[in-house]
Structure 1
Amino acid sequence: MQLFIFFLIVVTLIYVALITALILGWKKVASFELSGAAPLNKFSIITPFRNEAENLPELLLSLSNINYPKTHFEIILVNDESEDNSVQACFHFKQRNPELQFSIINNIRKTNSPKKDAITTAIISSRFEYIITTDADCAVPALWLQAFNEKIIETDAAMIAAPVSFFSARSSKERFLNYLAAFQELDFMSLQAAGIGGFGLNRPFICNGANLCYEKRAFYEVEGFQGNSNISSGDDVFLLQKFKDLNYPVCFLKSEQAIVYTKPQASLQTLFSQRIRWAAKTTAYKSVFAKLIGLSVLLVNLFLVIGLILTLLNEVNYELVLFSFLIKFLVDLGLLYYSATFFRKKTMLSHFLWCSLLYPFFSTLVAILSLFSGFEWKGRSFKK
Structure 2
Amino acid sequence: MLIIIFIITLSYVLLIGSFVIGFDKVPVLQLKDAVVTTKFSIVIPFRNEAENLPQLLKSIAQLEYPMPLFEILFVDDESTDNSVAIISDFVRQFKFVNISVVKNKRITNSPKKDAITKAIDLAKYDWIVTTDADCELPVYWLDVFDHAIRTTDAKMLVAPVTFNLANSFFERFQLLDILSLQGATIGGFGVGKPFLCNGANLAYTKDIFRSLNGFDGNTDIASGDDIFMLEKAVKRDQSAVLYVKHDQAIVTTTSQPNFKALKSQRVRWAAKTTHYKNAFGKLTGFLVLLMNSLLVCLPLLWLLQVISLKTLAYAFTVKCLIDFLLLFKSARFFGQERYLSSYFFSSLFYPFFNVYIAFTSLFKGYRWKDRAFMK
TM-score (norm 2): 0.98
Residue 343 of structure 2: aligned partner: 352
Could you give the per-residue CA deviations for residues 22-69 of structure 1, whole angstroms, max 9, x where no partner exists?
111111001113212211110000000001001011111111211111
Residue 119 of structure 2: aligned partner: 122
Residue 309 of structure 1: aligned partner: 300
Residue 228 of structure 1: aligned partner: 218
Cα separation, 1, equivalents of 2:218 and 2:105: 17
Aligned residues: 374
2:165–2:171 CA contact under 8 A, matched in 1: no
Could you give the per-residue CA deviations for residues 228-260 of structure 1, whole angstroms, max 9, x where no partner exists?
111111110100000010115101000001110
Displacement of 1:100: 3.7
Displacement of 1:75: 0.5
Could you give the per-residue CA deviations for residues 163-192 of structure 1, whole angstroms, max 9, x where no partner exists?
0111143x4xxxxxx111010000000000
Could you give the per-residue CA deviations for residues 90-124 of structure 1, whole angstroms, max 9, x where no partner exists?
11111112244011001111111111111001000
Cα separation, 1, equivalents of 2:164 and 2:28: 21
The reply on whether 1:276 has 2:306 as its aligned counterpart is no
Displacement of 1:79: 0.3
Alignment of 1:291-370 (within 5 A): 291-370=282-361
The reply on whether 1:183 has 2:173 as its aligned counterpart is yes
Residue 22 of structure 1: aligned partner: 19
Match of 1:206 among 176, 191, 196: 196
Task: For 1:343, give the aligned amino acid.
Answer: F
Which range moved further: 30-39 or 284-293? 30-39
Match of 1:90 among 87, 92, 102: 87
Displacement of 1:312: 2.0
Aligned-residue sequence identity (percent) comes to: 47
Cα separation, 1, equivalents of 2:6 and 2:269: 28
Which range moved further: 68-77 or 245-254? 245-254
Task: For 2:213, give the aligned amino acid.
Answer: E
Residue 378 of structure 1: aligned partner: 369
Which range moved further: 243-252 or 121-130? 243-252
Residue 175 of structure 1: aligned partner: none
Cα separation, 1, equivalents of 2:77 and 2:127: 23
Residue 71 of structure 1: aligned partner: 68
List alignment gaps of at least 5 residues for structure 2.
none
Could you give the per-residue CA deviations for residues 253-300 of structure 1, whole angstroms, max 9, x where no partner exists?
000011101000000000011111001111111111101110000000
Residue 55 of structure 1: aligned partner: 52
The reply on whether 1:267 has 2:258 as its aligned counterpart is yes
1:213 is paired with a residue whose SS is strand
Could you give the per-residue CA deviations for residues 131-156 of structure 1, whole angstroms, max 9, x where no partner exists?
00000000101100000000011112
1:209 is paired with a residue whose SS is coil
Residue 164 of structure 1: aligned partner: 161
Task: For 2:342, give the aligned amino acid.
Answer: H
2:165–2:255 CA contact under 8 A, matched in 1: no
Which range moved further: 6-15 or 328-337? 6-15
Match of 1:43 among 40, 45, 50: 40
Which range moved further: 132-141 or 5-14? 5-14
Cα separation, 2, equivalents of 1:106 and 1:313: 59
Displacement of 1:314: 2.3
Task: For 1:224, give the aligned amino acid.
Answer: G
Cα separation, 2, equivalents of 1:213 and 1:258: 12
Q: Alpha carbon RMSD of aligned pairs, Å?
A: 1.0
Task: For 2:152, give the aligned amino acid.
Answer: T
Cα separation, 2, equivalents of 1:369 and 1:282: 13
Task: For 1:327, give the aligned amino acid.
Answer: V
Task: For 2:54, give the aligned amino acid.
Answer: P
List alignment gaps of at least 5 residues for structure 1.
172-177
1:246 is paired with a residue whose SS is helix
Residue 174 of structure 1: aligned partner: none
2:172 is paired with a residue whose SS is helix
Cα separation, 1, equivalents of 2:58 and 2:28: 27
Could you give the per-residue CA deviations for residues 188-227 of structure 1, whole angstroms, max 9, x where no partner exists?
0000010011111111000000000101111000001100
Could you give the per-residue CA deviations for residues 336-357 of structure 1, whole angstroms, max 9, x where no partner exists?
0101111111111100101111
1:232 is paired with a residue whose SS is coil
TM-score (norm 1): 0.96
Alignment of 1:188-199 (within 5 A): 188-199=178-189
Which range moved further: 313-322 or 136-145? 313-322
Cα separation, 2, equivalents of 1:218 and 1:97: 33
2:165–2:254 CA contact under 8 A, matched in 1: no
Cα separation, 2, equivalents of 1:165 and 1:7: 35
Which range moved further: 59-68 or 259-268? 59-68
Cα separation, 2, equivalents of 1:229 and 1:11: 35
Deviation >4 Å, runs of 4+: none
